[in-house]
Amino acid sequence: MPSSRLRIATINANGIRAAFRKGMGAWLDGRDVDILAIQEVRASSEDLQGLLGDEWDIVHDPATAKGRAGVAIASRHRASIHRVELGPSEFDSAGRWLEADYEVAGTVITVVSAYVHSGEAGTEKQTEKYRFLDAMEARLPELQKHNELAVVMGDLNVGHRTLDIRNWKGNVKRAGFLPEEREYFDRILGAEGDPAYNDGAGLGWVDIVRKHAGEVDGPYTWWSWRGKAFDNDTGWRIDYQLATPALAERVTGWSVDRAAAYDERWSDHTPVVVDYAL
């Protein structure tokens, strides 16, 4: 029987050096995280290791363009293998997709840190986003074949359902909530109204937070820095942990670590933390 707790967290740091200046280190020190997926690192591997400390084993895929994107996975366990390729060889996914395998308590778990493009409706940026989502959709079944215990997490930059965006009516024509984007999640998780939604529908992956939070607004993971968005909880739920069914069955706890106040935020996103029994 599974007996070892594995705490996995994901966070879009919005620049990890700035995040540490604002308090990310204090959050991490107090959360007893075993594996941490980071997006928008926007720093060198040396910077990352220096901020996190030598007790962390770090795999890092920086973006092709310096100072942009960048994904990493930091763990108390050493990665046995990691992979950064996604989709066609000519497709630049650098800084946006990083896979790693870890052996924990005799069990191998596959972890992905993903950062989907934000996109912009009607532009080449949106075309790139669709190319990335196409590659991701094609990779998910391969991941399941590779390991029945896998989790894809990060800033996926799509609100799947109306529950995931406070002001969804005002965003139906904006990147992040376009019908075409949401259809990818219909195919991955199942569509709203499908009796097997988030329980074997689509490609069978499970949205952990929605599964355990239930049919409620949010809980949101991103708020604009501008205005009163955070104070009014006018947010988007775009940061996910998507698990294979076998891993989803091992969830023992979860949290969306929303800051207590606006001035205590160290990113415009907030961590999503899930405990798994291995």
Binding residues for Mg(2+): 12, 40, 155, 157, 268-269
Task: Count how many Cα atoms sit within 13 Å of the Cα of residue 82 in the half-sphere of its side chain.
Answer: 22
- Pick the catalytic residue: 115, 184, 197, 240? 115
Active site annotation includes 160: no
Active site annotation includes 34: no
> Which residues carry a binding-site annotation?
12, 40, 155, 157, 268-269
- The CA-CA-CA angle for residues 168, 273, 190, to 5°, reads 50
Residue 165 structure tokens: 């965006």
Residue 76 structure tokens: 């108390």
| CA–CA separation, 254 and 178 (whole Å) | 28
Active site annotation includes 155: yes
- Pick the catalytic residue: 155, 164, 207, 239? 155
**Count of positions (residues) in the chain:** 278
Catalytically active residues, by annotation: 115, 155, 269
